[in-house]
Structure 1
């Protein structure tokens, strides 16, 4: 019973709230069924299904807060977890930034559930592995990949009458294809809510072509180049940037959105006018829960509009302190773009470098969001609109803030997932003066 119905979840949560003697109590149930299959060296290595439900209970006596969790739901187990949370709260020091639980509200549902994804079977997972491995074997290529599908639910309630329940699904697929001698590498990834749109046979062809074409890469002198970043390559940098959209960090001088002398850059032109980022729980391509981790209602909210900072993100405490409205933390980021494919951007490029993927990205300077990382799995030199030859991978030092001021053109936004941290819609982008600092021998 890893996916509870709304009635089942509400019954358990109501019991928990009634058991508590604290000033306030919040209880949350999270459950999931996760199926997976992993393959490497053209053979399936592992496959399985993992299911679980957890109950987290948070109570407060004044400003003293305690939390306890359990995955058993008998009446005696519920009494134990409430008692434990209350014991911990009485032992805890007062939290000077305590903010009361969210008031009762009505949440507008978002379309986060797909019956097709929830119904994926072991046979279907095996077929994805077969469709990935068989064509690679036929062309003397080596495939390694991972498919994970998940159906889940979240339900929460508190002593102020707030309640929410919603189901969701998601599917993630990645596959790396190498040449038999290990000199060429290609990669493809898909993140979907509805698995019926997944076409592994066409996706594997992309990785296979890149693997074959990237062998015998030539060294190119590091420097500043026009680059085309595919959506997954761009998202790795952009996701870091949104860690610094917090209003408190900006107000306290700890962010690239801090102003010299105090204050933040709300309303200022920070990016190219073509840059717009929106958080939208009801986006058709990227729906997410209509509440955040604290049960606060999310809104459709522009974060950047035409290059200007439209909104910053306020924690409940900082919003209260600054006299601002509290909104739920975004669950997705949707970037505007155009209608061109990556191939279209390549055809229109006189000279440049195509980057399939960025990885091992690390922060260098938080206040400028200067990042360092590596390219991998297919990096190519472009000349007169054609991929002329593969090039050795690079280490880069670049800030997404500078990057988004050097836009030459934007492609069609694509759904990507940054390791579960954030759901994003990101376009391929052609950028001027991207900084490559050294070569990498990795493929």
Structure 2
């Protein structure tokens, strides 16, 4: 990590080298180490450190972007020159208004020194406890444990300066028997929260339960989705539905429905990069302080995320919400700190109240079939169980589903009080477990491995 003073020096040197109308400099430093394991043994330790600098320059309404991983003074100057030359050869973007100015974001510490400095011995200690739990049960564990730190800094010629640093530990494991498997994972800014014994115990218990799965006819079932599966729902809503560009292009079910009921009254979803519920990122990649955005409140559509470009295209005085991706991205703004409101139930109570349904650990290989209505197809994985009359009867083979996630959240019967932090496509999400009254399964695997 280079530290704020050095990153600011580099950014100011880059800005000074620019003769453009407006200039933005985005800086990353990244350091990450990964321990991989399989067959109850560690087989790989890797570490990577990198830096990136991106320059966005504006000439009238022409924009050029260039990126490098060389922070030497001559290279930084050359980077700005390349971005400027690219801008000269672009077609003017008449929808572009200006780079944004933002006051300094609140300082929210998400950097834990012990996480950033976590070495292979410490990761091996955690992994060793998982592998020992697996080995003792006659099972086989595989997975990965990553610890990382990063810095992000943004400066522009309008006077914006932002800096933050963050550390994170992320572990997941699949523990396998001959005919079934179990899963467990954790994410935290503090590596001390990663409990190898608890992770191993969860995955072993699920793997033992999942042995000798039976066939089950496809059809419509009640489902109990663990937090691992619910994270997939939020991923697709963030990716497909809750961005300003998708809203403007009418590619989301939210378009034209702000203020209308679109989900069940017990569903509320939002994004808040400053709350600390998820690892905080106080500003976006163009240096704008993040705002809390309510997507769904008590089932009613409330809003989407905006960056300065999409907000500037709105006929109203829409402001950016601080959700820009790095310059050059064509995807538009998306949420990175999503959360879903907790309920009053527990996983055990959901199972006990189920007449006939499926308990699903997580989803795998999910893909959108109809993005507008968030219809997704995918597979269950690492533990799927038939529940009848409030009891878990037996494991079933992995099932394929094709389901509208919007429709599913119109039939939420129960929400867990406990929520967990889960990896997202970008960022992290905070999710509960859900019991949903109707879920469409369209097929099953012929074999289980």
Q: 1:268 aligns with which of 260, 264, 283?
A: 260
Is 1:249 aligned with 2:246? yes
Is 1:235 aligned with 2:231? yes
Map residues 155-170 of structure 1 onto 2, 5 A cutoff: 155-170=153-168
| Residue of structure 2 in register with 1:47 after alignment | 45
CA-to-partner distance for each residue in 1:71-106, whole Å, 9 max, x for gaps?
222222222212222122112222233231111412
Map residues 110-125 of structure 1 onto 2, 5 A cutoff: 110-125=108-123
Question: Secondary structure of 2:348's partner?
Answer: helix
Q: 1:403 aligns with which of 402, 405, 408?
A: 408
Q: 1:415 aligns with which of 421, 425, 440?
A: 421
| Residue of structure 2 in register with 1:13 after alignment | 11
Per the TM alignment, residue 230 of structure 1 is displaced from its structure 2 partner at its CA by: 0.4
Question: Secondary structure of 1:126's partner?
Answer: helix
Distance 1:10 1:250 in 2: 35
Q: 1:87 aligns with which of 85, 88, 105?
A: 85
Q: Answer yes or no: is the 8 Å Cα contact 1:368–1:399 preserved in 2.
A: yes
Map residues 300-379 of structure 1 onto 2, 5 A cutoff: 300-321=292-313, 322-323=315-316, 324-329=318-323, 330-379=335-384
Is 1:387 aligned with 2:360? no
Is 1:299 aligned with 2:310? no
What count of residue pairs does the alignment treat as equivalent?
A: 433
Question: Secondary structure of 2:422's partner?
Answer: strand
Question: Secondary structure of 1:116's partner?
Answer: helix
Per the TM alignment, residue 34 of structure 1 is displaced from its structure 2 partner at its CA by: 0.2
TM-score, with normalisation over the residues of structure 2?
A: 0.92
| Residue of structure 2 in register with 1:153 after alignment | 151
Per the TM alignment, residue 341 of structure 1 is displaced from its structure 2 partner at its CA by: 3.4
Distance of aligned partners of 1:103 and 1:49 in 2 relative to their CA distance in 1, 3 Å threshold:
same
Q: 1:185 aligns with which of 176, 181, 184?
A: 181
| Residue of structure 1 in register with 2:202 after alignment | 206
Structure 2 residues without counterparts, runs of 5 or longer = 324-334
Q: Which stretch shifts more, 7-16 or 315-324? A: 315-324
| Residue of structure 2 in register with 1:108 after alignment | 106
Distance of aligned partners of 1:74 and 1:245 in 2 relative to their CA distance in 1, 3 Å threshold:
closer
Per the TM alignment, residue 256 of structure 1 is displaced from its structure 2 partner at its CA by: 1.5
Per the TM alignment, residue 318 of structure 1 is displaced from its structure 2 partner at its CA by: 3.5
Is 1:424 aligned with 2:426? no
Distance 1:184 1:135 in 2: 16
Distance 2:349 2:365 in 1: 28
Question: Secondary structure of 2:284's partner?
Answer: coil
Distance 1:384 1:120 in 2: 47
| Residue of structure 2 in register with 1:261 after alignment | none
Distance 2:109 2:139 in 1: 39
Per the TM alignment, residue 392 of structure 1 is displaced from its structure 2 partner at its CA by: 1.1
Q: Answer yes or no: is the 8 Å Cα contact 1:230–1:429 preserved in 2.
A: yes
Q: Answer yes or no: is the 8 Å Cα contact 1:237–1:371 preserved in 2.
A: no
Runs of 4+ in 1 over 4 A off after TM superposition: none
Distance of aligned partners of 1:317 and 1:77 in 2 relative to their CA distance in 1, 3 Å threshold:
closer
Is 1:195 aligned with 2:191? yes
Distance 2:294 2:254 in 1: 16
Distance 2:160 2:141 in 1: 48
Structure 1 residues without counterparts, runs of 5 or longer = 259-263
Q: Which stretch shifts more, 269-278 or 381-390? A: 381-390
| Residue of structure 2 in register with 1:225 after alignment | 221
Per the TM alignment, residue 292 of structure 1 is displaced from its structure 2 partner at its CA by: 1.3
Distance 2:397 2:355 in 1: 20
| Residue of structure 1 in register with 2:55 after alignment | 57
Q: Which stretch shifts more, 322-331 or 10-19? A: 322-331
TM-score, with normalisation over the residues of structure 1?
A: 0.94
Per the TM alignment, residue 352 of structure 1 is displaced from its structure 2 partner at its CA by: 1.8
Q: Answer yes or no: is the 8 Å Cα contact 1:281–1:299 preserved in 2.
A: yes
Distance 1:246 1:33 in 2: 29
Distance 2:438 2:102 in 1: 51
